[in-house]
């Protein structure tokens, strides 16, 4: 597995990963009916660096890193990670999180924050905790899950 910066030529492969996750609407607070163009514009926007995880020419995951705020908040970064459904359970998110923490330090960020981790996404919460993230906030019933209904969302944070 290799993780490398994404280029425009990766957009179709990235959409094949993020499209189903956005449509499922279970883990990200994005419009479930977002068009491919809008989703790519978001995921690969000029305010962030986007990476892909590739294995034998096959893209199995993608993540972005960006400043979470501007001005006095720009030393804290934010990331989003998505894994291809066909590669679930193979540690793709773990590889990407590890890479992103190194990348964050390399870029000079002093902390990393996840703004909105859906509380029912327990595997993700445990994974982020295993990397040193603390739950620093709980947003009561802030996410309307398609099957669970209103559930809490978590704010997770770690100093770098």
In the complex, which residues of this chain contact its own copies (CB under 8 A)? 25, 28-32, 34, 69-76, 110-111, 113, 115-116, 118, 136-146, 153, 155, 157, 159
Tokens representing residue 59 in the block: 């893209």
Q: Closest CB to its own copies among 70 and 89?
A: 70
To the nearest whole angstrom, how small is the minimum distance from the Cβ of residue 90 to its own copies? Answer: 26
Q: How far is the CB of 134 from its own copies (least distance, A)?
A: 9
The beta strands (E) that lie in the chain are given as 2-5, 49-55, 58-67, 76-83, 111-118, 134-145, 149-159
Q: Closest distance between its own copies and the C-beta of residue 8, in Å?
A: 24
Residue with Cβ nearer its own copies (59 or 109) = 109
The number of helix segments (H) and strand segments (E) in the chain equals 4, 7
Nearer to its own copies, 53 or 156 (CB): 156
Q: How far is the CB of 28 from its own copies (least distance, A)?
A: 7
- Nearer to its own copies by Cβ, of 75 and 123: the residue is 75
Helices 11-24/36-43 angle, 10° precision: 100
Instruction: Give the three-state DSSP class for 17.
Output: helix
Nearer to its own copies, 7 or 31 (CB): 31
Sign of the torsion angle spanned by Cα atoms 12, 96, 38, 152: positive
Smallest separation, CB 75 to its own copies (Å): 6
| Helix%, strand%, coil% for the chain, nearest 5 | 35, 40, 30
From CA 81, how far away is CA 13, in angstroms rounded?
A: 14
């Amino acid at each position: 597995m290799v993780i490398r910066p994404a280029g425009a030529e990766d957009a179709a492969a990235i959409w094949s990963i993020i499209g189903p996750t956005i449509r499922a609407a279970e883990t990200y607070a994005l419009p479930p009916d977002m068009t491919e163009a809008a989703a790519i514009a978001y995921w690969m926007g000029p305010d962030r660096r986007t990476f892909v995880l590739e294995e034998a020419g096959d893209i199995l995951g993608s993540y972005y890193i960006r400043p979470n705020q501007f001005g006095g908040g720009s030393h804290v970064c934010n990331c989003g990670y998505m894994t291809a459904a066909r590669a679930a359970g193979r540690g793709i998110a773990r590889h990407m999180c590890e890479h992103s923490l190194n990348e964050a330090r390399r870029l000079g960020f002093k902390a990393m924050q996840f703004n909105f981790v859906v509380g029912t996404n327990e595997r993700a919460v445990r994974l982020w905790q295993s990397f040193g993230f603390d739950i620093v906030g709980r947003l009561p019933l802030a996410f309307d899950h398609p099957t669970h209904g209103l559930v809490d969302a978590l704010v997770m944070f770690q100093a770098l």
